[in-house]
Chain A
Amino acid sequence: MNNQNPIPPIPPQVPPPIPPVMPASGPRSLGDDPAERAAIPNIIVAIEAILRQPRRVMFQLRQPGAGWLIAAMLFVSVLCSLMYGVVAGTFSGGTQLWAAPVKIAAGLMISALICLPSLYIFTCLGGSQARLVEVSGLLAGLLMLMTILLIGFAPVAWIFSQSTESLAWMGTLHLIFWFIATVFGLRFLETGFSHSNARSLTGFRTWVVIFMLVALQMTTALRPILGTSKTFLPTEKKFFVAHWGDCLKGHDEASKSESQ
C-alpha cells in the first residue's frame, strides 16, 4: 500500500547528559586547594598565612613536624603581646614600661595553658578527631591572631594613652580592643574545629565562655597593668567584677572632688 504520509524518521535516542557531581554541602576539605598544601617556611609567611590563608595554617597543623609551626606562632604571640604591653605601659610610664608587657605576655600564655586541658576534653566530647598537638596548634593560632590584631590597635591605644589621664576609660578601651581581637581569634579556632569532624560545637562554645572569664580574671590577678603600684603583683586577692567596681567608684570620687 502506498504511504502518502511517511512517518518521519525517529531520531536516535540520545541519553540525557550526566550532570556533573556536585560536592556535598558543608566546608571544603582542608588541602583541597593546592595553595593550602604549601609549607609555611618562616615566621613572616606564618603571619601572612594566618591573616590571608587561615586554612593553610590549619592544614599545616595536621602535617608531621607541626611542632615548629606551633613554636613559631607562640613566639610571635609573645613578641606581639610584649610590644602591645609597652604601649599599654606608656599610660603610666616608669616601671609600667617593663611590668605591663611582662604581665600581658605572661598572663596570656598562662590563661591559654590553664584552659588547654578543658579545650581538648570538650572538643573530644564533641566528636572532634583533632589530636592534642593539633588542638595546641589551633590554640597557638588563636593567640597569634589575637596579638597581631592588638598590634594593629596599638597606635590607637597609644594616642589615647597620651591624651587622657582616666584609668577607667583607658582600661575600658584596652578591654574593647582585647575583646575584638579575641573574637577574631576564636573565629579561627572554631573554623579549625569545624574541619575536624566535630559533631557538635556546644562544648567548644562553653569553653569560649570559660576562656574569656579566665582571661578577664588574669588581668585582675596581675594588676596593675595600667596604673601604678609599689609591688609588682597585688597583695590583695579580688575577683575582676569587684576590682572593676572599685575602679569605677574611685573614678567617680575623683570626678566629684575635681568638680568641687
Chain B
Amino acid sequence: MRHQNQNRSDGPVKIVPAIEHNPAPRLRDRQSVRLGSLGVFLRARPERLREWMLCRQLNLMVLCAVAIVIGAGIYGAVMGSWRGPWQALYTGIKLPLAILLTTLGNGLLNGMLAPLLGINLTFRQSLSAVLMSFAVASVVLGALSPVAWFVVWNTPPLTAAMRLSSPEYGVMQLTLAGFLALAGVVGNAHLLPLLSEWARSVSTARKVLFAWLVGNLFLGSQICWVLRPFIWDPSRPVEFIGREYFHGSFFETVFEAARRLIFQ
C-alpha cells in the first residue's frame, strides 16, 4: 500500500483537525443582515444579533444610541414632569446621559473582562453588546412611559405639605424605580443568549454577564448619584446639576445609613 505523503517527509501523514475558535458566520447577502426596523431588532435571535455585530457594527451602535436617547429620554422626562417642566427636561437629558456614560466609562473594563473570562470579544464588540442590552432596556422604558406618565399624573402634585416620606410620593418613586428595574432585567435577559451563542457555553456567558453587571452597577450608581436628583430634591430649586452633588458617593451614603440603622 502506498502512502501518500503530502509534506514530502518520510514519516506517516498526520491529519490535523482544523480548530475553529469562534468562526465568523458566513457573510450572507447584505439584504439578509439588514437591521430594518425596531421590531426586527427586538425580535432578532442571538445568531442574527451576532451577525449584525460582525457585519453591521456601526449601524447597530448608532441604532442602539438613538434608542437609548429616545427611549430613556422620554422616560426621564416623564419622571421629572411631576416636579415641573424644567425638571422634566433635565431628567430627560440626564437619564440617557447616565446610561451612555456608564457604557463608555466601563467600555475598556468590559472589553478586557470578556476575553479574560472566556469570550473572545473585541473592545468594539463588547461595547456593542452592552449598548444593545441598554438599548433594549431603553426601548422598554420608552414603551412604559405612558404607564409611568399615568402614575405620575395620579400622584398628588408637589405642595408645601409634601415630604420625601409621604406615602403618595413613595408609591410613585417605587413604581418608577420598579419600571427601571424591569427594563434592566429585560435588557440583560436579552444579552445572555447572545453571549451564550458567542461563547458556545452558558456558564461562561453567565460569568461575563455577571462581571459586566457588577461593573456597570458600580459605576452607574455613582454616575446617577452625581447627576441626581431625577425626580425631586426638596432642599434645592430645580437645576441640572448642583455643586454639592460632587461631594460624597452613593456607597458612602448607603454605608452611613446602614451604620446608623444598625448601631443606633
Contacts and interface: CB of A to CB of B under 8 A. Distances in A.
B143 A121 contact: yes
Contacts of A127: 43, 45
A118 B150 contact: no
Contacts of A221: 150, 153-154
Interface in B150-198: 150-151, 153-157, 167-168, 171, 182, 186, 190
Contacts of B43: 124-125, 127-129
B238 interface: no
A214 B154 contact: no
Contact of A118 (B42, B147, B156): B147
Contacts of A239: 154-155, 168, 171
Nearest to B42: A124
Nearest to A116: B146
B147 A115 contact: yes
Contacts of A203: 186
B226 to A, nearest CB: 30
A121 B182 CA distance: 13
Contacts of A214: 147, 150
Chain B binding surface SS class: helix
Contacts, number: 72
A118 B151 CA distance: 15
B191 to A, nearest CB: 12
Contacts of A115: 146-147
A95 interface: no
Contact of B154 (A117, A129, A217): A217
Interface residues of A, number: 28
A217 B151 CA distance: 9
B42 A125 contact: yes
B154 A118 contact: no
Interface residues of B, number: 28
A237 B39 CA distance: 36
A84 interface: no
Interface in A76-119: 113-115, 117-118
Given A125-B190, A214-B147, A237-B154, A117 B136 contact: no
A160 interface: no
Name, among B150, B153, B155, the residue most crowded by chain A CB atoms within 10 Å (CB to CB). B150
B146 A114 contact: yes
Nearest to B185: A206
Interface string A225-256: 00000000000111100100000000000000
B142 interface: yes
B219 interface: no
B205 interface: no
Nearest to B139: A121
A252 B182 CA distance: 38
Given A210-B144, A238-B156, 4 more contacts: A117-B146, A121-B139, A125-B136, A221-B150
Interface of B: 38-39, 42-43, 45, 136, 139-140, 142-147, 149-151, 153-157, 167-168, 171, 182, 186, 190
The 3 closest A-B pairs by CB, nearest first: A121-B143, A124-B42, A118-B143
